[in-house]
Structure 1
Amino acid sequence: MTRIAHLSDLHFGFHRTPLVDPLLDRVNRSGADLVVITGDVTHRGRMGQYAQAARFLSRIRAPVMVVPGNHDVPLYNLPMRFLAPYWGYRRTLGRDLAPTRQVGDLRVIGLNSVDPFAVQRGTIRDREIARLIGGLDPLATNVVAVHHPLEQLDQVDKELSRRAPEALARLERAGAQVVLSGHLHVWATGAMLDQTTHPGILQIQAGTALCGRVSDRQNEFAVLQIDGPVLTVERHVAPMDEPTFRPPEHEWFSRESGVWVAHQPAEIPIVPGATETALSTA
């Protein structure tokens, strides 16, 4: 049995400051063997924001694995964005943009989906798909951690990453079982399972852990417990008008038959609506 805390879209620089300590307390009490953060650690990729993020990460007691998001490259500093987009990230969070971690019988493989030449749309590079497939462990539960989702709910208005459908199909065929993502600030698990044509992969799309955008309506993170073919989700939600996280909600999925099955009705996702222009928040 392995436990992973999944956080995404912290947006340091545009974050709910009073929620930082409650989030750290929940994460540190979660019993997580690994904390996975799927991008947008900062809001605009500025060094002061990276310093805030680094202080936060240093207070997490479990091992931490991070992949970058589109907000982790500078938006307004065009020379840095195009010539050295990951300079701040590598200086403060680590040089590896696509790390891999093994925790018990769980293998978590990172994927960098950021396209520095686009504002928000991601890209899945063909060589990265091949690397992911080559890194799968046939004896482990294989989890891919990426910022941009490989599939989206029909009501989401953002552009899907380039090659995302190809990546999802190839990963399913190769034996990946779970994809962790963020970017949309919309929680989706069972709703994705109801929609997808790739039920061999459970897609866990996280909401935002700390972003202060009021239209998101809530912050949240999840703790996943993986025990063979059974995956239990503890979803910790902090509404924008409440000072801390509510008691966790629980979801349960299993894949004894080789495809994932939800054991509760699908959630109703909160979709903020059109959220992406060159100057928008997320």
Structure 2
Amino acid sequence: MTRLIHLSDLHFGYERSELVEPLLERVNAANADLVVVTGDLTHRGRSAQFARAAKFLRRIEAPLFAVPGNHDIPLYRLTDRMMKPYRRYRRSIAENLEPVGHVGKLRVQGVNSVDPMAWQRGVITAAQIRRIGEGIDPDCINIVALHHPLQQRPTVDKALMRGAPEALALFELRGVDIVLTGHLHIWAAGAFLPPEGRGMLQIQAGTALCARETDLQNEFAVLDFQGPDLTIERYVAPMDESGFRPPEFIHFRRANRRWRQV
């Protein structure tokens, strides 16, 4: 079995401070093979916020894999956003904005979907899509990790990332098995699978630590891969409760290169 933890939207600088230690304890107790963080480590991309995020990440005992989110670049300092948007991220978190990881039978490729020119919306370019396709390993479960989703429910009022439809089609064609995203602060796993299944499973994380009350809850997920089976443990901490509830379990099975919920 290979275990991956998916965290997203930590928002240090506007985090739910009383949940930091319970989250860290849960993450370390899970003994994961890899922890993937899909962006928005900070709330406004400030140095002090990055310092707090980096301190938290250093306390995670498992290997760590992170990509930036739109909140990780300056919002109000337009010159910095245009000229050196990732300076603080690179200094505090990681120099590589699009890492690649390999653990067990999992191959994880990172994509930086932040667009400094359109702060919230995000973008995935043809070159990034091509790079992901060229990096597919047919002997692995191929995972792509980025901040912005490739699909959204009709009720979502944010603009879909530029290039998302093209990425969705080509990722499916080239053999991407799982896409991990964040950004919306809305959990979804299997929401875009038709009844007959699909070759690519999209998992959208809720926010792990953001204190915005309208989010209603914080959460993270543990993904256990064993042969053709994927079991997701979803841990939820409602805003009016002091910690995480026992996990909810969601099961998927992969057969003939298609995922189905079971």
Q: What residue identity is the alignment partner of 2:165? A: P
Alignment partners' CA distance in 2, 1:140 and 1:255: 13
Mind listing any 5+ residue stretches in structure 1 that lack a counterpart? Answer: 264-282
Alignment partners' CA distance in 1, 2:39 and 2:214: 20
CA positional deviation for 1:136: 1.0
Match of 1:251? Answer: 250
1:75 maps onto 2:107 in alignment: no
Contact 1:206 1:221 in 2 (8 A): yes
Match of 1:280? Answer: none
CA positional deviation for 1:239: 0.2
CA positional deviation for 1:157: 1.2
**CA deviation digits over 1:100-136, x for unaligned, max 9?**
0000111000000000011210100110011111111
CA positional deviation for 1:194: 4.5
Alignment partners' CA distance in 1, 2:194 and 2:159: 21
Contact 1:122 1:161 in 2 (8 A): yes
Alignment partners' CA distance in 1, 2:257 and 2:189: 17
Alignment partners' CA distance in 2, 1:193 and 1:243: 34
Q: What residue identity is the alignment partner of 2:88? A: G
Aligned pairs for 1:200-215 within 5 A: 200-215=199-214
Match of 1:107? Answer: 107
Q: What residue identity is the alignment partner of 2:175? A: G
Match of 2:224? Answer: 225
Alignment partners' CA distance in 2, 1:260 and 1:69: 27
Q: What residue identity is the alignment partner of 1:226? A: F
Alignment partners' CA distance in 2, 1:93 and 1:41: 9
Contact 2:47 2:88 in 1 (8 A): yes
**CA deviation digits over 1:46-86, x for unaligned, max 9?**
00000000000000000000000000001011111110000
1:175 maps onto 2:175 in alignment: yes
Alignment partners' CA distance in 2, 1:260 and 1:128: 24
CA positional deviation for 1:228: 2.3
Q: What residue identity is the alignment partner of 1:210? A: L
Alignment partners' CA distance in 1, 2:52 and 2:37: 15
CA positional deviation for 1:24: 0.2
Stretch deviating more after TM superposition (222-231 or 17-26): 222-231
Alignment partners' CA distance in 2, 1:130 and 1:177: 16
Contact 1:222 1:233 in 2 (8 A): yes
**CA deviation digits over 1:182-208, x for unaligned, max 9?**
00000001323259x982110000000
SS of residue matched to 1:237: strand
Mind listing any 5+ residue stretches in structure 2 that lack a counterpart? Answer: none
Contact 1:172 1:198 in 2 (8 A): no
Match of 1:270? Answer: none
CA positional deviation for 1:249: 0.6
Stretch deviating more after TM superposition (99-108 or 251-260): 251-260
SS of residue matched to 2:251: strand
Alignment partners' CA distance in 2, 1:66 and 1:81: 20
Q: What residue identity is the alignment partner of 1:182? A: G
CA positional deviation for 1:258: 2.2
Alignment partners' CA distance in 2, 1:143 and 1:15: 28
SS of residue matched to 1:260: strand
Alignment partners' CA distance in 1, 2:228 and 2:144: 16
SS of residue matched to 1:88: helix
Q: What residue identity is the alignment partner of 2:259? A: W
Computed over aligned residues only, the root mean square deviation of the Cα atoms, in angstroms, reads 1.2
Stretch deviating more after TM superposition (15-24 or 117-126): 117-126
CA positional deviation for 1:259: 1.4
Q: What residue identity is the alignment partner of 2:58? A: S
1:260 maps onto 2:259 in alignment: yes
Match of 1:130? Answer: 130
Contact 1:169 1:198 in 2 (8 A): no
1:27 maps onto 2:39 in alignment: no
Match of 2:166? Answer: 166
Alignment partners' CA distance in 1, 2:118 and 2:81: 10
Contact 1:136 1:175 in 2 (8 A): yes
Alignment partners' CA distance in 2, 1:236 and 1:89: 27
